[in-house]
Amino acid sequence: MNMSKVKAKEPALPKEMLVAAWAIALGAIAPMLDSTMVNIAIDQLTKDFNTTLDIVQWSITGYVLALAIAVPVSGWLMNKCNGKKVFIGAVIAFGVVSVLVGASWDISSFIFFRLLQGFSAGIITTLMSTLLVQTAGPENVGKVMAIVSTPMIFGPILGPVIGGFIVQGASWHWIFFINVFIVLIAAPLMMKKIPDFEPFDKDSKLDVFGIIDLSFMSAALIYGITKAADHASFNNRETILWVGMGLALAVIYYAYNRIRKNQTVLPVNLFTHKSFTAASIGLFLANIAVMGPMIILPLFFQNFRHFTAIEAALALIPQGVGMLITRPLIGKMIDQIGAKYVVLVSLVVSLIGSIPLIFITDHTSMIWISIVLFIRGTSFGGIMLPLTSDAYTGLDSKQLPQAGVGINMIENLGSSFGSAVIATVVAAALQGIQPTIANGLKGYHTGFLVSAVVLAVICIPGLFLTHKKSAS
């Protein structure tokens, strides 16, 4: 009797909604894979273009900066145009530009086409989450987000593995040419299955000043933060200059938003919604805690276990399996009990899977490391998904593009900040000490400790997320 009641209470998602959600997710797979595959090819690119590592690194930094600049622009595009057409256009543009990146004749053309690629990726990722919230409606947002964030998992996990095999078996050019096949499959399916999305606010004027200010603010902050990792310290001239410029632009934007009475591309009054503010703070911290260790884990395997790049990528697969297994369950839990308890329980699980990393050595069993990474992976969806879906809770449809802009900017800043903080902490801990294995491990342990502390701090915004009374 009770079981039938539960089944009756758990209606399946409408087929059209599921198909539309998967079609949107498919469009995001190419940028998600691409951004991680290119890291594997850096060595090859340096040799082929006969250039230095610093210059090749600009193809990665430039991609991230162009992506950050595209986020505010996509908010305006959603207001003015049919969201379906903008999304499909951005996916096709990504495919076309990928061909140009793969066919680059020198390092300058390579970096230029990577900037264009990053810009189209910024539009794809911002539209993806907003169109999904619109497709799902508030009651199904958790389940639908769980489905659609699948490409976000596959990117960091499979990207380096696929990239490694491509670079070894063919050449770096195919890392980009492969996107064409993904786009050729995705585009017709998206045209057929994604519903039309009416413009959110056709009367909205192009907020040129707001878009330029936010774009340069994001770019300055991200660039300044990446320089901290280069110098192994936040106290260097470049970081202080660029981060200072970014903060000055943030203050200017705040004043401008007040003068315009919140009629801007990202109205500051969005932060008067308790769940949006809590989710924003939580997502910023989660990107530090989750994305930061993603940088040093492969380095740990390569430096202390002497793994190749592909072996290091394969060693991270248990973390990805953990993420995949818990995804569908987390979506249902968010829709049933709300974001608050899902996040708090997931944070405890994440700490169980993160604290042991503070004590791993070059002799720790790979089986034990795999189990720890698996536990860590199971918790990620339970932190990121509820925070993302709760950011949109209680907003009306006109606010969705604005919320999408805000959330994507915060996530971009958080992941850049996380990578830089962890890399800087590890480098700073190693400075001035003898380069022994024991000392090297101390640096990595410090990085993992920072990640665990930040995870614990997420409990604070987690307490302010929404929860639902269980309907008994």
The pLDDT tens digits for 358-404 are: 998 888 899 999 999 999 989 988 898 888 888 888 777 778 788 88
Tokens, residue 31 = 């940028």
Continuous H helices in 194-306 = 208-231, 237-259, 274-304
Task: Report residue 469's pLDDT band, with 50, 70 and 90 as the boundaries.
Answer: low
pLDDT at 375: 93
pLDDT at 338: 81
Question: What is the rounded distance in angstroms from the CA atom of residue 96 to the CA atom of residue 180?
Answer: 7
Question: In this structure, are residues 32 and 117 in contact, taking their beta carbons and an 8 Å threshold?
Answer: no
If we measure between CA atoms, which residue out of 14, 18, 11, 401 comes closest to residue 193? 18
Question: What is the rounded distance in angstroms from the CA atom of residue 429 to the CA atom of residue 443?
Answer: 5
Task: Report residue 164's pLDDT band, with 50, 70 and 90 as the boundaries.
Answer: confident
Mean pLDDT, the chain, rounded, equals 82
Task: Report residue 458's pLDDT band, with 50, 70 and 90 as the boundaries.
Answer: very high
Residue that wins the pLDDT comparison between 72 and 91:
91
Could you tell me how many residues make up the chain? Answer: 472
- pLDDT of 42-85, one tens digit each? 778 888 888 877 788 788 778 888 888 888 888 788 877 888 88
pLDDT above 90: residue 253: yes
Helix axes 339-354, 366-391, angle to 10 degrees: 160
pLDDT above 50: residue 1: no
